[in-house]
Structures are given as C-alpha cells and as structure tokens.
Amino acid sequence: MSDVLIRPALETDIEAMLAIEQSATSHPWSKATFTGCFGERYFNFVLQQGDEILGFYIGNFVAGEASLFDICVAPKAQGQGFGRLLLEHFIAESEAKQAFDCWLEVRESNHSAIELYQSAGFHQNGKRVNYYPTATGHEDAILMGLPLRFG
C-alpha cells in the first residue's frame, strides 16, 4: 500500500469515480447522482495510488449524523485493504465533524461488505424491504449504524 493517498474528491474526479462504480457494481449511480453529491453537506474522498484513483466514498453530514452514501474500490484493487482504509477514513472524518452516529445501507447479499462494516463496529438496525434493484427484481437493504463518542 505504498504511495496511497486519501484526499478530498473534486468534481474533476467524477469521471474516474463513475468508471470505478460502473466496473464494480451491478447497478451503478448515474453521473447526475455523483454530481449532485458535491455540496456543503457532503464529504467525499478518493483513494489514489500514484496518479490513479482506485476507490472513493461519498459521505453526508446532516443534523449530527454522518451517512455513508457510497463506497467503492476498483475491481483490480479489491482485496488489498483499500475498502477498510476508506471506511476508517469515513469514520474518522465523521468523528472530526462531531457526528453522533454513522449510518449506511448495504445490499443483503453483499456479505463481504457486511463483514467489513461489522468489523468496524457497525450493527444492523433494520431493513428496507425490496430497496435495491437486481437482475431479477429487488433485494433488501440492511441498515447499519455505528454510535460515536459524541452521542
């Protein structure tokens, strides 16, 4: 993980973020969704190695709560701990903003992500039935929360 940098995402990074999202997920966000997630209440970061962006997250901070809207690592960079680095960075940024809690939603079928979130202290708080589209219909979203020390 030498020369890995996590830095604030810029609007000029949207194309690279979109390409990662499209290569790593079955139902990627649109460019308009990415563009709409740059503003005052958002804190977005990219993970860069050398000149290449290999991952990112989109965070949102409102009324004392931080939400992880999206986190993604390029398929060629998965399994190297980059997802954990991004998640730990999101939690640290949430603490720096003095958030009371962190929240996220994850596909029920995404067992590796659920394990990662649990290892970071997140706990299931509920479900959103039929929330995510799939190739054959819909699947549930698992709601997970992490109380922070400011809560």
**pTM of this prediction?**
0.94
The alpha carbon of 147 is separated from its chain's Cα centroid by a whole number of angstroms, namely: 17
d(CA 120, CA 107): 17
Residue-wise pLDDT tens digits, 68-122: 999 999 999 999 999 999 999 999 999 999 999 999 999 999 999 999 999 999 9
CB-CB contact of 59 with 66 (8 Å):
yes
Beta strands per DSSP E along the chain: 4-8, 42-49, 52-62, 65-73, 101-107, 123-134, 137-147
Residues designated catalytic: 105, 117
Domain that holds residue 19: 4-147
Residue-wise pLDDT tens digits, 22-45: 999 988 999 999 999 999 999 999
Q: What is the CATH number of the domain that holds 37?
A: 3.40.630.30
The token pair at 104 is 């996220």
Q: How many domains does the chain have?
A: 1
d(CA 137, CA 43): 32
